Structures are given as C-alpha cells and as structure tokens.
C-alpha cells in the first residue's frame, strides 16, 4: 500500500516492545480498510479483520494473526493525537495540489457520543478545502474553551498563501483575521451578534450606503423559487475602528429569499461578512456557497455515513483519533472515481462502502487511488 498507510506508519512506537504482538502499521491499515467498508466500532473492526485475514495477509505481514477489538481500543486510546494528525497533514500535502485561490472553510463539530462521564463533549474544528474536495486538517478544542482557541492552532498547520479562508461568526476575531493575513491568505468572516458594534456598522452601511457591486442567482426546484443577492461595499468609512481588522477592504451582504410555490409562503434571511480580498459580488457569492461544503460534504457525512454522533468512544484520545480515521476514509471514498467503462461513474459514498466490503479489488483500488496529487 502506497497511501495513506505509509504516512501513518511513521507514528512513533509508544508501546512496550516486549508486549507488542501486532505491528503499529497493521493496526492502522486494517482500521482504515475496515472503516472504508463501513465498520464503526472496535468489535466490527475485529470481525472485519478475521473475515478478511487471508486477503490481508497478501500485503500485510501478520505473524500473530489479526488484532482483537481491545487491541484497537487501547491503541487509539493511547496513541498521541498530535503525532497521528501530523501524519495526516503530511499525507494531505503529498496528495493535494496547493492551488492559488483555493477556498478553505473552517468549522467545528461536537462528537455527541463522546461525553460519557466527562465534563463536556469532544469538539473538533476541521478545515475543508472545496477545491481539492478534501478534509485537510483537524484540531481539538481543549477542555471547556471554545473554537476561538482552536482556530489559531489550526491555521498554524495550514498552508494559506494565496488561499481564501472562510469562517463562521465564532471565528470573526481580530486576532484570527491578522493570523490569516500574516500567512499571506485572505479571510471571509461571518459577522453576527458576537461582534455587535461591527454588525451595527455593517448593517447601517447596507441600509444607507452605496452598493458598489451586486450579483443575483435564482434557482427553481422542489416546488421552491430561491433567490440569493450578494452585494459589496468598499467604502469603509461606515466601520468604526476599521484599522483593528487587518487588511479589511470590503463588507458583504447576502440576501436569501425562498418562495414556496405551493403554499405561497416566503422566507427571507440576511447575512453579513467582512473580507480582506478585493473581489466582485459574484466571487463572494461563490465563496459563501463554498463554505456550505464543510456542512454538506463533511459534517453531514461524519454523522450519516460514519455514525460519528452515535459513537460511544469516550476513553482518553479514542474519540479524537477515530474521528481522524473517519476523515481519512471520507477523503478516500469521496475522491475515488471508478473507471467510466465500469458504468459506475457517479455512485453514492454508502454504495462505494458496500462495494468495497464485497470486492477486495475494489477496496484495494480505493486504497491506492491517491498515489498521484489531486487537483
């Protein structure tokens, strides 16, 4: 296996060598393969290993057979998450082209089944790149703090030069904007009540100020007519203390209207943003929509396809580490494109999981599909 197993095999051995029965890389390799095939807990991974043992032995050295469920549990409970995440970052850097202008969206998600007797849920902040269609990094929110403390740490491990970073209102902080700009990236930050003075200024600007550019998109489907209007103002005289926001050059408003053709009901919502990038309304419209990818393509999949919220992994580092393995599997399944000649060009992720579980060659093809960089 070329990818991603060889990157995770670089994790430092932390176990007592005299008590080790199974190689570290074998534990990780079998876990990734099992998760790709739909396994969600330690027992299912053990069952998968036993059923696939003859096939696994064709490329893994398994002198002691396959591990039991408690071996997987102890390993992911005790392995250093930072070391595992560093291996993940190195894998991503090896497979993903860092293109100029790509959009990286950052958002957090609680692992609802991880609380147990702990004081709080394990909360992970992830970075999603819509351009590469990949999860590119994750960072755990420590203790009872919030995403404001985790986002800067996440930004430090990302390559942001030439990128646009989109973050929701929690990340609308002066220090975060400054960190992005210092890394030679640009920011698009959602403005809400946590920055009430800034929100008041932006609202007033779009009430009385001059709109410098506007872009409208309409969609009709499922019995609804949806319209999104994006407006841009570059006159920052409306913004008090604008110099506190590093390289702030414009403010953006997105007005969304939804009309239900059957009931006649109409809904309207307004969202505001600030940005360090000088661009037109169409660009910001696309950037805002790109941010939804972290919800639809990452968080939704983590819960519905990988069962993350119902997972009861609570001991030490197990929830954090297994969340990373889920993201490895998601990256591989989502980006696996079967040959058009097979007649299965566009198939769901769940269907790919089931096909991988039934067909060893199909699974191996997924595991080896990241040997070249993905644009």
pLDDT in tens, 258-306: 888 778 888 899 999 999 999 999 999 999 999 988 999 999 999 999 9
DSSP annotation string for 300-326: HHHHHTT-TTT----STTHHHHHHHHH
Q: What percent of the chain has pLDDT over 70?
A: 92
Q: Which two tokens stand for residue 178?
A: 């400054």
DSSP annotation string for 229-246: EEEEE--GGGSTTGGGST
Chain centre to alpha carbon of residue 261:
35
Q: pTM of the entire structure? A: 0.87
Note whether 248 and 239 are within 8 A (CB).
yes
pLDDT at 4 over 50: yes
d(CA 219, CA 211): 23
Q: What are phi and psi of 119, to 5 degrees?
A: -75, -25
Measured at the CA of 91, the angle between CA 325 and CA 6, to 5 degrees, comes to 80
Per-residue pLDDT band at 312 (split at 50, 70, 90): confident
The conformation of residue 297, written as its DSSP 8-state character, comes to: I
- Residue 292 DSSP SS3: coil
Note whether 285 and 85 are within 8 A (CB).
no
d(CA 331, CA 87): 15
Q: Enumerate the domain spans of the chain.
A: 5-79+336-367, 85-300
Which residues partner with 258 through β-bridges? 226, 267
- Residue 68 DSSP SS3: coil
User: Does the domain spanning 85-300 belong to CATH 3.60.20.10?
Assistant: no
- Calculate the alpha carbon distances from 322 to 14, 111, 152, 154 in Å: 18, 11, 23, 18
Chain segment 80-133, per-residue pLDDT in tens: 999 999 989 988 888 877 777 899 999 998 887 666 665 677 888 999 998 888
In angstroms, how far is the first alpha carbon of the chain from the final one?
Answer: 22
C-beta contacts of 156-161 below 8 A and 24+ residues apart: 157/89, 158/104, 158/127, 158/183, 159/93, 159/98, 160/104, 160/184, 160/185, 161/98, 161/185
Residue 143's pLDDT is what? Answer: 63
């Amino acid at each position: 296996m070329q990818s991603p197993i060889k990157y995770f095999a670089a994790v430092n051995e932390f176990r007592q060598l005299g008590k080790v029965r199974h190689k570290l890389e074998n534990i990780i390799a079998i876990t990734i393969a099992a998760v790709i095939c739909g396994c969600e807990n330690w027992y299912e991974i053990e069952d998968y290993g036993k059923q696939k043992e003859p096939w696994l032995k064709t490329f893994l050295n398994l002198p002691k057979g396959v591990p039991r469920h408690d071996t997987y549990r102890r390993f992911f409970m005790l392995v250093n998450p930072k070391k595992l995440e560093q291996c993940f970052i190195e894998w991503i850097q090896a497979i993903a082209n860092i293109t100029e202008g790509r959009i990286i969206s950052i958002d957090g998600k609680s692992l609802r089944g991880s609380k147990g007797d702990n004081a709080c849920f394990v909360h992970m902040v992830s970075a999603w790149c819509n351009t590469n269609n990949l999860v590119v990094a994750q960072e755990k929110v420590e203790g009872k703090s919030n995403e404001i403390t985790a986002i800067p740490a996440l930004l430090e491990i990302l390559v942001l030069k030439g990128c646009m970073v989109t973050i929701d209102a929690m990340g609308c902080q002066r220090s975060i904007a400054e960190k992005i700009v210092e890394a030679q990236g640009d920011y698009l930050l959602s403005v809400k009540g946590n920055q009430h003075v800034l929100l008041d200024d932006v609202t007033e600007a779009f009430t009385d100020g001059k709109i410098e550019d506007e872009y409208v998109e309409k969609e009709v489907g499922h019995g609804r007519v949806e319209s999104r209007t994006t407006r841009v103002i570059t006159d920052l005289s409306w913004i008090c203390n604008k110099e506190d926001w590093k390289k702030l050059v414009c403010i953006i408003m997105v007005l969304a209207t939804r009309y239900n053709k059957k009931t006649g009901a109409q809904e309207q919502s307004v969202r505001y943003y600030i940005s360090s990038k000088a661009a037109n309304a169409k660009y910001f419209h696309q950037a805002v929509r790109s941010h939804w990818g972290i919800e639809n393509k990452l968080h939704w999949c983590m819960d519905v396809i990988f069962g993350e919220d119902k997972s009861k992994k609570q001991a030490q580092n197990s929830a954090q580490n297994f969340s990373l393995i889920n993201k490895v599997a998601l990256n591989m399944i989502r980006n696996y494109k079967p040959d058009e000649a097979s007649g299965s060009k566009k198939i769901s992720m769940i269907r790919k999981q089931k096909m991988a579980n039934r067909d060893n060659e199909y699974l191996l093809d997924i595991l080896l599909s990241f040997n070249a960089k993905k644009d």
